[in-house]
Amino acid sequence: MELVKDFNWKKGMTVKELVDAYSQIGFQSIELKKSADVIVKMKKNSAKIFLTFTSNMVTSGLRGFFAQILKLKMADVVVTTAGGIEEDIMKATGEKFVIGNFNSDDVELHEQGINRVGNLHIKTESYTNFEDRILPILDKLYAKQKHWTVSEMFREIGLMLDDENSILYQAAKNNIPIFCPAITDGALGFHLYLFQQKHKDFIVDVVKDFGNILLSTSFDEKKGVIALGGSISKHHAILCTLLNGGAEYAVYMTTAHKTSGSMSGATTDEAKSWGKVKDDSDVATVIGDVSITFPLAMINALEQLTDEGLIKGVDK
């Protein structure tokens, strides 16, 4: 029987010490500590780890943390949305996003050519600059071959970038596939469409890539899912685990609630009813802003794994 323990701060407290203390505070702090421990179990038991996230997280500063996680081999497969890919390319090619306010005057922002994502601002100019940068990339892809799966295309683009904080760069460098089933849902999709109008034999094959993610694991392999937010990125990964016997480990982090009946709010327990997660799996569902919860849980996991010598190449 675990007892509630009063939390006390001490000077110089580490992230690991803080999150370890969460296990005896109560409420969502307990789930957050549990999520860190589940991530550790995934890695220690050599599970194939699927990391999923939505584009707003790439808009934020988590983008660099995702890239670092890939560099440290803490994920084997990535699933995300089109906005996350285009914003990774934007940042890799010099675009800067601005911290604004949740209560900004949106009409005024529109008149100034600024687009708001929560309390973050992206200039419309960044999207016109993206067009200037993506077209030469598409020309290079087309010159190399005419038919691409999405994950193959992303790997090739990643090899063209030179940014240690880029998700595409680190994924390509570490041979980690990135899947994006909704590739057309954003500026990148729009430019792919326009490019295809000029080059009718240019094909980006989403259906073939679905086969690639299914074949990225098997019934015999242990599987773990770290799903940040919901949407198609989360579902694409857990559909893959469903078709391959279910995941042994799962961590969901979301601001959505289970009563919505949505993919974003669906818990790890609900996933068991579908067979996406095994009945006896180690799971945790953390309700809260991923920009807060995920760094805490992952850093705690990384420190546990580093202490045990299971993570190499960590910068001091």
Catalytically active residues, by annotation: 276
Radius of gyration of the chain measured on its C-alpha atoms = 20
User: Contact, 202 vs 195, CB < 8 A?
Assistant: yes
Indicate the helix (H) or strand (E) that contains 43: helix 28-44
138-163 exposure pattern, b = at least 16 Cβ within 10 A, e = fewer? beebbeeeeebbbbbbbbbbbeebeb
Please tell me the distance from the alpha carbon of residue 156 to that of residue 137, in angstroms, as a whole number.
Answer: 9
CA distances to 98, 114, 124 from 110, rounded to whole Å, are 15, 5, 9
Q: Is residue 316 exposed (0-12), middle (13-18) or buried (19+ Cβ within 10 Å)?
A: exposed
Residue of 148, 145, 172, 140 whose CA lies nearest to 158: 172
DSSP sequence for 156-223: HHHHH---TT-HHHHHHHTT--EE-TTTTSSHHHHHHHHHHHH-TT-EEEHHHHHHHHHTTS-SSS-E
> How many Cα neighbours within 13 Å face the side chain of 84?
30
Cα–chain-centroid distance for residue 176? Answer: 13
Please tell me the distance from the alpha carbon of residue 116 to that of residue 165, in angstroms, as a whole number.
Answer: 23
